Amino acid sequence: MRFALLVCLAALVVSPLAGCADSAPPEAPAVSASGDSLVSTFSIVAVDTLTGEIGVAVQSKFPNVRSIVPWVEAGVGAVATQSFARLDYGREGLALMRSGARADVAMLVQLGVDPDPESRQVGMVDARGRAATWTGAGAFEWRGGTAGGDAIESFTNLAPEAGTMIVGEGYAAQGNILVSEATVQAMARTFEAAEGPLAKRLMEALVAGGAAGGDKRGEQSAALVVHQKGAGYDGSDTIVDISVYDHPTPLAELERLYALNDLYFTDSKPENMTEVTPAIAREIQEIWIARGFQYEGPADGVVDDEFQRILTDYMGWENYDLRIDEVSGVDLAAGETLYIDREVLEDIRAVFREGRYR
């Protein structure tokens, strides 16, 4: 099998239209013949070639899936390695794509040097939009994957026991030990219909996969990782990196944490801004007084330079760093109106109402 993969690499690049063969999986241990641990899961890797966002969403009945399955590099590619996960698909797969290899070629190279490719399941996408997914015949049922665009099955007619490789565009979705293929179908269908930032579309796709059945053993951990060149905090490439290590409902927890990530690590949207009226100013002042935060005056609802300064400090104190500019940049002396992000205002209220402070 290993020799055949290497020999056929050039043939795939020229013509990826080989036939498809599938067979029932053999009984397999929790550790593969090469010593790799079983990471049974469902995942989706995807890229937005217009924005440069690229990432992975994954859920598994396995603790701390973030440390194993998702591999992402802005401007390069994304990889999900699962089912007796082999980390070189992430490490070396990204290195190959960094050097210019397409996702499907990078996958083939790694399959060719893998001592046990039939136990693997892998999804890859490169920054240019090429996507591929591999499901070895030794992965537990239900097992399988799909890819975006005019996806084609390829490079599978190597031996009677060979797995399935699918090549497409934009995204690849895959899973093993699933209740049924409905999980992969739901991820693909939802991702294609979703709108908004890539992280939101990946999150919606993953949740849809879970609702369609997911891992037949249940839930335990989940992760969402999305990179974009220079778009993260202080110019980093990381715009989302969320991990649920161990949780009875990791998808619901991932959604909650994604909402927090959106609040703390994204800029305010113009349509979310609301005027700081005297009533809102008075409400905020009452919170400052109750919490003992830098304000010794009355709750009079006056919106002046002092109020603006304290509000700016308070937003920094509460970690709304990326939402501060819209407040601090207002020139009240020139007659400009002070606005605050509705999401920030609602969170300020919730934190106080629920006593989530010291």
- d(CA 20, CA 218) in angstroms, rounded, equals 30
328: DSSP letter: H
Residue 71's nearest CA partner among 34, 110, 33, 35 is 110
Task: Provide the pLDDT for residue 1.
Answer: 38
Q: Which residue has the tokens 């009355």?
A: 298
pLDDT by residue, tens only, the chain of 358 residues: 333 333 344 333 333 323 333 333 333 344 444 445 555 689 999 999 999 999 999 999 999 999 999 999 999 999 999 999 999 999 999 999 999 999 999 999 999 999 999 999 999 999 999 999 999 999 999 999 999 999 888 654 445 467 999 999 999 999 999 999 999 999 999 999 999 999 999 999 999 999 999 999 999 999 999 999 999 999 999 999 999 999 999 999 999 999 999 999 999 999 999 999 999 999 999 999 999 999 999 999 999 999 999 999 999 999 999 999 999 999 999 999 999 999 999 999 999 999 999 8
User: Maximum distance among all alpha carbons in the chain?
Assistant: 80
pLDDT, position 36 = 54
User: Which pLDDT score, from 0 to 100, does residue 13 have?
Assistant: 37
Q: What is the pTM of this model?
A: 0.85
The answer to whether residues 71 and 81 touch, using CB atoms and an 8 Å cutoff, is yes
**pLDDT in the model for residue 4:** 39
Q: Which amino acid would we find at residue 59? A: Q
3-state secondary structure of 257: helix
d(CA 126, CA 147): 13
Burial 91-123 (b: 16+ CB within 10 A, else e): ebbbebbeeebbbbbbbbbbbbebebbbbbbbb
Q: What is the pLDDT of residue 159?
A: 52
Q: Note whether 254 and 242 are within 8 A (CB).
A: yes
Closest CA to 169 of 192, 187, 190: 192
> Looking at the chain, how many residues does it have?
358
The structure tokens 């067979």 sit at 23
Going by the DSSP 8-state scheme, the letter that residue 133 receives in this structure is: E
Burial of 349 (0-12, 13-18, 19+ CB in 10 A): middle
CA-to-CA dists, residue 317 to 116, 206, 356, angstroms: 52, 33, 14
DSSP letters along 55-80, please?
Answer: EEEEEESSTTGGGTSEEEETTTEEEE
> Which residue type is seen at 115?
P
What pLDDT score was predicted for residue 172?
98
